A and B are shown apart, each in its own frame.
Chain A
Amino acid sequence: MIKTDAVVVGAGPVGLFVVHQLGIIGLKAEIIDNLDKIGGQCIELYPDKPIYDIPAIPECTGEGLTKNLLEQIKPFKPNFHLNERVEAVSQNKNEWKVETSKKKIFITPNIIIAGGVGSFEPRKFFVKNVEKFENNGVFYSVKNKNDFKNKKVCIFGGGDSALDWAIELSKISDVILVHRRNEFRGAEHSAEIVKKLEKEGKLKIKTPFQINSIEGEKKVNAITIKNEDGKIEKIKTDCVLGFFGLIMKLGPIAEWGLNLEKKTIPVNTENFQTNKEGIFAIGDICTYPGKLKLILSGFHEGALAARACFKIAKPNVAYRFEYTTTSKSIQERLGVKKGD
Chain B
Amino acid sequence: MAKITYIEFLNKKKHVIEVPNGMTIMDGAVQNAIPGVDAECGGACACATCHVYIDENFFNKISKIESAEQDMLDMAYEPNKLSRLSCQIVVNDDLDGMVVNLPLKQA
Contact = CB atoms under 8 A, between A and B. Distances in A.
A301 B67 CA distance: 34
A149 interface: no
A131 interface: no
B55 interface: no
A185 B71 contact: yes
B81 A228 contact: yes
Interface string A202-217: 0000000010000000
A287 to B, nearest CB: 11
25 contacts: A117-B40, A117-B41, A123-B75, A126-B77, A158-B74, A179-B74, A180-B74, A180-B79, A181-B70, A183-B67, A183-B70, A185-B67, A185-B70, A185-B74, A210-B78, A228-B80, A228-B81, A244-B74, A244-B75, A245-B75, A247-B75, A247-B107, A248-B40, A248-B47, A293-B42
B80 A123 contact: no
Interface of B: 40-42, 46-47, 67, 70-71, 74-75, 77-81, 107
Contact of B74 (A117, A245, A247, A263): A245
Interface in A107-147: 117, 123, 126
A226 to B, nearest CB: 10
Nearest to B78: A126
Contacts of B78: 126, 210
Contacts of A78: none
Nearest to B81: A228
A152 to B, nearest CB: 24
A53 to B, nearest CB: 13
Contact of A123 (B42, B79, B107): B107
A45 interface: yes
A183 B77 CA distance: 18
Contacts of A158: 74
A157 interface: yes
Contacts of A183: 67, 70
Contacts of A248: 40, 47
Given A228-B81, A247-B107, A159 B40 contact: no
B59 to A, nearest CB: 13
Nearest to A181: B70
Task: Return the 3 tightest CB-CB contacts between A and B, nearest first.
Answer: A185-B71, A245-B75, A228-B81
A235 B40 CA distance: 35
Interface in A236-254: 244-245, 247-248
